[in-house]
């Protein structure tokens, strides 16, 4: 079973922490820090799920999610990850087709559990 995860996160400490957590849980992880290059990254190799930050340079996570759902990746499981946990952000993510939503800070176990669940559901 494939376990490829794309992390889209511009904050180096968070991206590195997520990579470390998921590497040690047995996932094959790639990181993209620029919202404008996410679709290109998806074209380079297949991923089983994506962890997507909302606030990114060049393109927001919401814009990326809108493109995914209306384009070549309508069924890719997406875990929205953001420091902004307001109800409106959750509603926007849900309306755009996010599979799941998690706020920062998060626990290591929470992240691994969410990724396992989303890949298992794919």
Domain at 28, CATH number: 3.40.50.2300
Give the pLDDT confidence score for residue 89 in this predicted structure. Answer: 85
Count CA atoms closer than 13 A to 33's CA, side-chain side. 8
> What is the per-residue DSSP string for 67-105?
HHHHTT-TT--EEEEES---HHHHHHHHHHT-SEEEESS
Band (64; pLDDT cuts 50, 70, 90): very high
| Strand 78-82 versus strand 28-32 pairing type | unpaired
Query: Hey, what are 30's tokens?
Result: 């790639």
Give the pLDDT confidence score for residue 85 in this predicted structure. Answer: 66
Q: Is the pLDDT of residue 19 over 60?
A: yes
Domain interval for residue 109: 4-121
Give me the number of domains the chain comprises. Answer: 1
> Which letter does DSSP use for residue 45 in this model?
S
Inter-residue contact 28 to 7 (CB < 8 Å):
no
Give the pLDDT confidence score for residue 1 in this predicted structure. Answer: 62
The verdict on whether omega for the bond into residue 80 sits within 30 degrees of 0, i.e. cis, is no
Band (104; pLDDT cuts 50, 70, 90): confident
Inter-residue contact 51 to 40 (CB < 8 Å):
no
């Amino acid at each position: 079973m494939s376990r490829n995860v794309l992390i889209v996160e511009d904050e180096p400490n968070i991206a590195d922490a997520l990579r470390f957590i998921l590497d040690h849980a047995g996932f094959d992880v790639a990181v993209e820090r620029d919202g404008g290059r996410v679709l290109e990254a998806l074209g380079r190799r297949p991923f089983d799920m994506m962890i997507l930050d909302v606030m990114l340079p060049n393109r927001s996570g919401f814009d990326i999610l809108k493109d995914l759902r209306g384009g070549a990746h309508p069924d890719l499981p997406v875990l929205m990850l953001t420091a902004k946990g307001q109800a409106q952000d959750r509603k926007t993510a849900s309306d755009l087709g996010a599979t799941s939503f998690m706020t920062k800070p998060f626990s290591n176990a929470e992240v691994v559990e969410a990724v396992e669940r989303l890949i298992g559901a794919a």
